[in-house]
Amino acid sequence: MSFQIRPLSDALGAEITGIDVSRPLDESTFAAIHEAHLAHLVLVFRDQQLTPQQQIDFSQRFGPLDVHPSQGKAHLEGYPDILVISTKRENGRDVGIRNAGPKWHSDLAYRERPALGSMLYALELPDRGGDTGFANMYKAYDALPADLKRAVDGKRALFHSTRSSIDARHPIIRTHPETGQKSIFVNPQLTTGIEGMDAAEGDALLNMIYFHNTRRTFIYWHQWKPGDLVFWDNRCVQHIADHTRLDDPDYIRHMHRTTIAGDVPF
Ligand SMILES: [Fe+2]
């Protein structure tokens, strides 16, 4: 099966058209998608029509799935592998995670084995707002000033989940296990400090890195279209959701996420 790849920005991201990922993919098609994902970091599959099981099946081509700590109360009924990201409320209760990703982060970075990648499928979208920002952490590492590179060289950071008590320690600079490229792994949502540094010193250093990480040239903002399935690589990408309309009752954004398990960062 052949498909088309069109880069979406100079930072990262590519649009994939001409493929229906609800169908089983042959090995060569899968290999081409895998290669495109490593090259572009974020793939946007347009015009998909996926049942929950079809999304799970496609996601599992990339590895075993991970279950989010919130999934106990935010998974799709009958599908523990699917996390519901939604602003909808039913019977006075949120149907999923309402304010997902308010700050830049990489999914499940507070786990000993953070997520390899996440796939987010848009089911209902608002007329405006709800975009997702993606930042290329390879580019951020490559452009990191030499004094900052020296300051974090070989150091590890502490990560903590706000929704559970899980925490972990990971290298600030990690090496991608498939491409061998280095990227910045600390983020303002889940990183809480630097191992062996006092809080003030660690925070000051982290804040300089966060400021650097969000340079415009590293970022692509995705404006969702119905049927988009977006697959990002958490090992070298950070993301954020624009939820400035979260308190607006007309702001309906309803999505299904699958999460592919990753390995221990090094
Ligand atoms: Fe996220």
Domains and CATH numbers, the chain: 4-135+221-260 (3.60.130.10), 137-213 (no CATH)
Using 50, 70 and 90 to split pLDDT, how confident is the model at 230? Answer: very high
Q: What pLDDT sits at residue 163?
A: 64
- What separation in Å is there between the alpha carbon of 2 and the centre of ligand 1? 30
- What separation in Å is there between the alpha carbon of 119 and the centre of ligand 1? 10
Contacts of 7 (CB under 8 A, 6+ apart): 13, 14, 15, 40
Q: What pLDDT sits at residue 11?
A: 98
Q: What pLDDT sits at residue 160?
A: 93
Per-residue pLDDT of 35-85, as tens digits, reads 999 999 999 999 999 999 999 999 999 999 998 766 667 899 999 999 999
Q: What mean pLDDT value characterizes the chain? A: 95
Whether 206 has a pLDDT exceeding 90, the answer reads yes
Using 50, 70 and 90 to split pLDDT, how confident is the model at 2? Answer: confident
Q: What pLDDT sits at residue 137?
A: 98
**∠ at Cα 123 (121, 124), nearest 5°?**
135
Using 50, 70 and 90 to split pLDDT, how confident is the model at 145? Answer: very high
Residue 162 near residue 103, CB atoms below 8 Å: no
DSSP 177-233: TTT--EEE---TTTEEEETTS-HHHHHHHHHHHHHHHT-GGGEEEE---TT-EEEEE
Q: What pLDDT sits at residue 249?
A: 87
Catalytic residue among 37, 170, 239, 253: 239
Whether 152 has a pLDDT exceeding 80, the answer reads yes
Using 50, 70 and 90 to split pLDDT, how confident is the model at 259? Answer: very high
Phi, psi of 180 (to 5 degrees): 75, 5
- Ion ligand 1 neighbours (CB, 5 A) are 101, 107
Known active-site residue 212: no
Catalytic residue among 66, 81, 107, 228: 107
Known active-site residue 75: no
Mean pLDDT for the stretch of residues 82-94: 92
Known active-site residue 61: no
Q: What pLDDT sits at residue 180?
A: 98
Using 50, 70 and 90 to split pLDDT, how confident is the model at 164? Answer: low
Mean pLDDT for the stretch of residues 120-132: 95
Using 50, 70 and 90 to split pLDDT, how confident is the model at 100? Answer: confident
Catalytic residue among 174, 222, 243, 257: 257
- What separation in Å is there between the alpha carbon of 259 and the centre of ligand 1? 10
Known active-site residue 222: no
- What separation in Å is there between the alpha carbon of 238 and the centre of ligand 1? 8
Mean pLDDT for the stretch of residues 3-32: 97
**What distance lies between CA 92 and its chain's CA centroid?**
29
Tell the burial category of 169 from Cβ atoms under 10 Å away from its Cβ (0-12, 13-18, 19+): middle
Whether 18 has a pLDDT exceeding 90, the answer reads yes
